[in-house]
Amino acid sequence: MSSRDEMLRRVREALGGARGAPPEVPRRYERRLSAEDAAAGADVPALFGERVAENRAAVRHVGADELATAVAAALWGREAKQIVVPADLPFGWLAELDGVRAMADRPAIDVDALAAADGVVTGCAVAIAETGTVVLDGGPTQGRRVLTLLPAYHLCVVQAEQIVGTVPEAVGRLDPARPLTWISGPSAAYGADMPGAEGMHGPRHLEVLVVED
């Protein structure tokens, strides 16, 4: 018997009669917000902004008529000269840019150019207030997954109506067959014997603009 077979035999013995039995799934997560947040009368966009900030990302709430100015200000603050955008990003989002070149991903931009860009601007599919998470699924305003993995800076525009209270609510809005990317703050990786390293699997800097009417 090989060492692999021996390991699997021990796992099967340890599982015993529970092997193959479906785990019990708790239903308490069906709440819309946690009891603590609900008791505090939290409004969903405000709570989302707080949790995004707790995740070490920058966040700003803007009105719909301020979006183009806010996008430009964010990019100027990063001293960006060249950014990448999905091919279907609304032109109005970039209308106030001056001195920043926006490369639309059509045809597909090669990986070297993506990595060399100063940042990327996208929308999202849904956002989660309880965890400060934005979810991308490759839909409108989001582009290919690689667009948000290679540039060091990601500016994500979140419409207030895209924000839900909890993860189960977000899952209910998403198609599991799509390429889902869940983002809770800048990319970070941790090892048992090493400090956290940012930017190994995505942007080192995340900034979120929450658009409220």
Evaluate whether residue 193 is within a structural domain.
no
Answer yes or no: are the C-beta atoms of 120 and 173 closer than 8 Å. Answer: no
Asked if residue 190 has pLDDT above 50, the reply is no
As a whole number of Å, the CA-based R_g of the chain is: 21
Average pLDDT estimate for 196-209: 72
203 compared with 141, residue with greater pLDDT: 141
| Rounded Cα–Cα distance for residues 3 and 73 (Å) | 59
Task: Order across the sheet with 163-164: list the strands.
Answer: 163-164, 126-128, 133-136, 181-183
Tokens of 157: 């525009």
Evaluate whether residue 78 is within a structural domain.
yes
As for how many domains the chain has, the answer is 1
Tokens of 182: 């869940």
What pLDDT is recorded for position 10?
Answer: 83
What are φ and ψ of residue 180, in 5° steps?
A: -85, 135
Asked if residue 15 has pLDDT above 80, the reply is no
Average pLDDT estimate for 174-181: 94
What pLDDT is recorded for position 21?
Answer: 61
Tokens of 75: 């990019």
Evaluate whether residue 28 is within a structural domain.
no
The CATH number linked to 107 is 3.40.50.10420
Evaluate whether residue 12 is within a structural domain.
no
Tokens of 95: 């209308």
- Cis geometry, peptide bond prior to residue 107 (ω within 30 degrees of 0): yes
Instruction: Tell me the per-residue pLDDT of 31-55, one tens digit each, with 9 for 90 and over.
Output: 455 555 654 546 899 999 999 999 9
What pLDDT is recorded for position 46?
Answer: 94
Evaluate whether residue 143 is within a structural domain.
yes
Evaluate whether residue 23 is within a structural domain.
no
DSSP characters for 117-159? SSEEEE--SEEETTTTEEEE-S-TTT--GGGGTSSSEEEEEEE
Residue 29: pLDDT band (50, 70, 90) is very low
Answer yes or no: are the C-beta atoms of 160 and 45 closer than 8 Å. Answer: yes
Evaluate whether residue 37 is within a structural domain.
no
Range of the domain at 111: 43-188+200-212
Asked if residue 71 has pLDDT above 80, the reply is yes
| Rounded Cα–Cα distance for residues 100 and 119 (Å) | 11
What pLDDT is recorded for position 42?
Answer: 62
Asked if residue 167 has pLDDT above 90, the reply is yes
What pLDDT is recorded for position 192?
Answer: 52
**Quick check: helix, strand or coil at residue 49?**
helix
Instruction: Tell me the per-residue pLDDT of 115-160, one tens digit each, with 9 for 90 and over.
Output: 999 999 999 999 999 999 999 999 999 999 999 999 999 999 999 9
Mean pLDDT (the chain) is 86
Record the pTM. 0.78
Answer yes or no: are the C-beta atoms of 90 and 126 closer than 8 Å. Answer: no
Quote the percentage of the chain above a pLDDT of 90: 70
**Quick check: helix, strand or coil at residue 6?**
helix
Per the listing, tokens 């035999």 go with 9
Evaluate whether residue 16 is within a structural domain.
no
What pLDDT is recorded for position 199?
Answer: 45
